[in-house]
Structure formats: C-alpha cells, structure tokens
Structure 1
C-alpha cells in the first residue's frame, strides 16, 4: 500500500479522525491482533511517525480511539425517542446501528490488550466503554417508554437494558456472519416482549 504524508498544517482533529477511522477498519477486518501502529498508519495513508506525534504511545492512541467510539455510540442511541414508532423496532434499529459499527470489535480489543484495559480504568468508571454506554442509554429510553405507558410499570428497566445489550453482543459476536434485521428484531422481542404493553 502506498503511503502518503499528512501535509504540514493539517488540523489535529482531522488527523485523529483519519487515524481512528483507519483503526476501525483494521480492527473490523483483522481483529485485535492485526491492530498495530504500522497497520493503522498504512490504512490511514500517513507517515509512520504521525501517530506518535499526536499520542504518547500506541496504548494512549487506542484508549482515545475506544473513548471516541463510545461517544459515537452515545450519539447513535440518543436518537431514540420514547413514545414514537414501535418499541421493538426502535430498539432493533438502534442495536443494529451500534453493533454493526465497531462495538463487538472494541470488546475483543479491550479483552486482548492488558495495558489498554489498565489505561481505560483511569478514565472510564466501570465496565467496557461502548457497551456500558449502550446499556445506560437503552435504560434511559426504556424508562421513557415506561413513562409513556408502553413498558409495564413493574419492569426493572435498569435490569432489562444489560440483558438486551448482552444478548445483542452474543448475536453479533461472530465477525464473519452478521445477523439480518429480522434476527435482531426476534432477539429484541424475546428479551423485551413480555414487558411491552399491548
């Protein structure tokens, strides 16, 4: 692959996004073991030294990458609006958007790299970034649906949300075969169906 250098004066945010997008491609295509600084800079089409000019080391880069993807998860799930559409359909669409992005790969990456886990513990309160963000936002959405009367009053939405994200993670765990939309809807219906008021 031909490597091109980033011109002088390119804004840091542009370089970060370019490197993060490249890391996501490498991670999704090759898994955690393929994610090296050389692979990232080659995929980004930048000189090898660019990554190390902007980040203290590769684990610092990976920590920022993971936190950036957690922020993107928040943006995707914050679009869920209680009281609109169909509950199962809303959840299935949101889960598909999160898990067809990089969520499953991020979990594998964090499990694969001890130093990355240690670094993330310094800035992330608990759990796995991306997944814990998804759990919190799904719980907020379900609580909103409960206030709208579409989820039964007695349902523990804080307990239901991690069940939903855990089931989704298992469904999407195979990087080679992605579940279709109907499989995602079926999983959501099995987890939350009895909680929905008809």
Structure 2
C-alpha cells in the first residue's frame, strides 16, 4: 500500500491478518513483516499503532478474549433451553473453531507475550482458555440452578475438563476438524454422571 493513503480500522485489519497467518501457518510464521504483508499495508503501519510486535500480539490476544463475551452471553441465554449437551457442544465448537487454539499455541510459543499479559493484570490460567473455562462454569452453574445439572456437581472440575478435552479435540490444525458428533460424545462423557 502506498504511503500517505489512509487505512480504515487499521487495528482490526492487522488483527485479522495475524489471525489468518496463525490459522494457516501457525505461530512460528507470525512476524511483523508477515502481518503487514498479509494486511496489504506498509511495514511501518504496525509500529505506528503499537510500541512493538509483542505489544501488538498482547492486544490481539486481549481483543480475541473480548470476543468471548458475546459467546458467553449466548451460552448464558441458552440455560434452561435445549439439551445441555447440545448447548455445550455448540459453544465449545464455536470457541475452538475460532482462532483460540492458535492463540494458545502463540502464547505458549512467545515468552515475552506471556510476560506482557501477566503485567497487564491478567492472572491465572492460559489466556483465552481461562475465559472459556469461566464461560462454561457460569453456564453449568445456571443449569444447576435450574435443576438440569446435579446439585452436588463439581463445576470447578467439570468446566476445565470440558475445555481441556475440547482443546485436545481441536488442537491439531493439520487434521480435519472433529465432527459435531465427536464433540457431543466428549461433552456427554464428561457430564454423564451429573445430568439430571
């Protein structure tokens, strides 16, 4: 892109480019040059909007975490309707078919990124997975309140188990995505003893 040409929504354009690279090529391919080339903008654009590449990556992770809020609201609204297994299978598929698996790999891959996320007040767990776990725990609590999950169900164990098992189903970006039935079977296996 020629210099002097205004770019609309630069941050989102750069974030979307980074996401495409992550999904297509993995975290090792993610560089500032690759992002600006993928976004179709001059190399200096990223550094005009972010202090450095790790600052860009930290904002990318925070942005993708914020997107979970919409998914969490949808899942919360589903409490008391439909089948618990179906609701959770759909929510887990939405989380893990997104860039979540690639973001987790990126966070694991880049020490400086983890440090920046911790410095920004982020505590506990792997970013994105921790928020997804909270989303699932809140949903399970709402279903327990409605009597659809056993009153003595250990939600603190069930939610991370569902997220971990879901992550494992979707983790291999070179393999075909698991089908809906595979996700449903996993959710049913985890929740088998607590569904009312």
Question: Which category describes the TM-score, using the shorter chain as reference length?
Answer: over 0.9
Q: 2:190 maps to which residue?
A: 191
4 and 75 in structure 1: CA distance in 2 versus 1, 3 angstrom threshold: farther
CA deviation after TM superposition for structure 1 residue 128, in Å: 1.4
Asked if 1:109 corresponds to 2:106, the answer is yes
Q: 1:74 maps to which residue?
A: 69
| CA deviation vs aligned residue, 1:141-186 (integer Å, no higher than 9, x gap) | 0000000000000001122100100111111111012111111111
How far apart in 2 are the matches of 1:45 and 1:4? 10
Asked if 1:147 corresponds to 2:142, the answer is no
TM-score by length of 2: 0.94
Where does structure 2 lack aligned partners over 5 or more consecutive residues? none
| CA deviation vs aligned residue, 1:33-58 (integer Å, no higher than 9, x gap) | 00000111111111111100000000
Where does structure 1 lack aligned partners over 5 or more consecutive residues? none
Q: 2:20 maps to which residue?
A: 25
- SS of the equivalent of 2:192 reads helix
Q: Runs of 4 or more off by more than 4 Å in structure 1?
A: 3-6
| Contact 1:6-1:46 within 8 A present in 2 as well | no
1:33-182 superposed matches below 5 A: 33-80=28-75, 81-123=78-120, 124-177=122-175, 178-182=177-181
- SS of the equivalent of 2:22 reads helix
- SS of the equivalent of 1:129 reads coil
TM-score by length of 1: 0.93
Q: How many residues align?
A: 192
4 and 84 in structure 1: CA distance in 2 versus 1, 3 angstrom threshold: farther
| CA deviation vs aligned residue, 1:68-116 (integer Å, no higher than 9, x gap) | 1111123212211210111000000000001000111111101111111
